[in-house]
Amino acid sequence: MNPSKVIRENVTRLTDLPNIGKTVAGDLKSIGIISPEQLMGQDPYDLYVRFCKAFGEKQDPCMLDVLMSITDFMDGGEPKAWWKYTPERKQRYGSKIAID
């Protein structure tokens, strides 16, 4: 969902989360995340590694930005566009993202 349209009190489905549409909601389900509450306290990098393993290849680093956005939101942060997390991802993880 577009972050500007997210209303925290109405978040009950994965597609109610900022930056999550049907496709990524399906991808989250493939790694065992079926409700927004399951994202609380999750490490976005660990989720990213699970994505990479589930799909058998390194995923676009922008997916890590998306995961950072939804875990931050579920931990009380404001709904923000995924690309607002790109500088933080680059600072935290650099250009090398390992999936070993």
Q: Which tens digit of pLDDT belongs to each residue from 45-93?
A: 999 999 999 999 999 999 999 999 999 999 999 999 999 999 999 999 8
Res 94: pLDDT = 81
Cα 16 from chain centroid (whole Å) = 13
Q: What is the pLDDT of residue 22?
A: 97
Q: Can you give the pLDDT at residue 69?
A: 98
pLDDT confidence of residue 93: 85
Split at pLDDT 50, 70, 90, the class of 97 is confident
Q: Which positions ≥6 away from 90 have C-beta within 8 Å?
A: none
Which CATH number is associated with domain 3-93? 1.10.150
Nearest alpha-carbon partner for 76 in 16, 10, 8: 8
Q: What is the pLDDT of residue 10?
A: 96
- Please give the pLDDT value at position 62: 93
Which alpha helices (H) appear in 31-76, and where do they start and end? 44-55, 61-74
